[in-house]
Amino acid sequence: MQRRGFLAGLAALTLPAPSWAEAGSPAFLAAGKGGEAFVLHGLSAAGESVFDIALPGRGHAAAAHPQQPFAVAFARRPGVFALVIDCRSGQIAHRLSPPDGRQFNGHGVFSADGALLYTSEVIAETSEGRIGLWDGVQFTRLGEWASGGIGPHDIRLRRDGTLIVANGGIATDPTDRSKLNLATMRPNLTQISAQGDILAQAELMPELAQNSIRHLAIGRDGRVAFAMQWEGEPTEPVPLLGLWQPGQAPELCPARQDEAFLMRGYAGSIAMTGGGKIAITSPRGGVVMIHAMDGSPIATHHRTDVCGVAARGDGFVLSDGTGRLWSCDEAALRPLRKDGPAWDNHLVTLTT
């Protein structure tokens, strides 16, 4: 019996690990709502759904395992669930709950080898930021790091293994999400080492302290593009796109003067192509703006309730709240799909 068990163990070791091909080789993940049902979809590069999985509540973003067909779906912030989903079967493999006094804050990312999952979290009573650390196989809680600020939202992994955190700066009521500190906000970008040490931080100039840093895209050279949401008076236009190389001051990238108010102070999502083009979206304004790698504006397209955006080749894929998916470049928007659910905020690219 011992010999047979030993040989069975050896056989298991030789079996290939499951891959995303077994889940239909999706290019993107996106949460949405169809009727009264909340779902997570795996989407092909052409916008076709290769799987859809029920969620217990409204989803926000997701994290895709870099090799195996597992996705972690995060609740809309402040969240109390994160579901590890086997995208081959649609079954929930694990349900993650934050420790007492913590709340998930909408985003997470795996380490490059998939061994760790990092989650964006807050201390519920104070909105002080934390990065939760989870084992990427058993999904047990390993610990947490300080995020370096208040209200962290998006977190991304650079190729050097460091994390970039968008600390939005907003303290919120833990139950109704009301904003408590708009007059004293101090959003920042924070770079954290693979050991949890803060390596670099950048803040905006004082007159833009109410520009909450929300979402991130990382270039091949490690450059960070960040999207913001203005919490100040709506009487003056402010830049909603910025660029940052850790160790340097952030650069802000204003829209064209005649388009400065089109986004209505709200950038909902951001993506960057391999060639460095950047797209930011605004569901409030119904626009997507495309910028060159230096941040200068190239093109603006209009689409009702557009928010999700992901890079695709030298262009982008967009999702909107009417159930449509679009291919986008500086020349035009082109329809991919029109019969989907009401897509939520984000399209998450699989990097397999």
Q: What distances in angstroms separate CA 64 from CA 61, 87, 259, 321, one per listed residue? A: 10, 10, 35, 22
Stretch 1-24: mean pLDDT, rounded?
63
CATH number for 19-349 (one of 1.25.40.10, 3.40.50.300, 2.130.10.10, 3.40.50.80): it is 2.130.10.10
Q: Which two tokens stand for residue 196?
A: 């949890």
pLDDT tens digit sequence for 70-128? 999 888 766 677 999 998 888 889 999 999 999 999 899 999 999 999 999 999 999 99
Degrees to nearest 5, angle at CA 319 with 340 and 307: 135
3-state SS record for 69-136: CEEEEEECCCECCEEEEECCCCEEEEEECCCCCEEEEEEEEECCCCCEEEEEEEECCCCEEEEEEEEC
Which residues, listed in sequence order, are joined to residue 31 by a DSSP beta bridge?
A: 40
Q: Where are the domains of the chain?
A: 19-349
Which residues, listed in sequence order, are joined to residue 189 by a DSSP beta bridge?
A: 166, 202
Per-residue pLDDT at 2 exceeds 70 = no
Q: Which two tokens stand for residue 53?
A: 């999985």
- Indicate the burial class of 48 (C-beta count within 10 angstroms; 0-12, 13-18, 19 or more): middle
Q: What's the whole-model pTM score?
A: 0.92
Q: What is the dihedral of CA 67, 166, 237, 318, to 10 degrees?
A: 10
Q: Which residue has the tokens 């939005």?
A: 168
Query: Which pLDDT value is given to residue 157?
Result: 97
Pairing assessment for the beta strands 70-75 and 59-64 based on DSSP bridges:
antiparallel
Report whether 253 contacts 244 (CB < 8 A).
no
Query: Which pLDDT value is given to residue 281?
Result: 98
Task: Collect all residues with Cβ–Cβ distance below 8 Å to 305 and sequence separation of at least 6.
Answer: 283, 286, 320, 321, 322
| Spatial separation of the C-alpha atoms in residues 159 and 171, rounded to whole Å | 31
Q: Is 222 left (phi over 0), alpha (psi -120 to 50) or beta?
A: left
pLDDT tens digit sequence for 18-77? 888 888 889 999 999 999 999 999 999 999 998 888 888 888 888 999 989 999 988 876
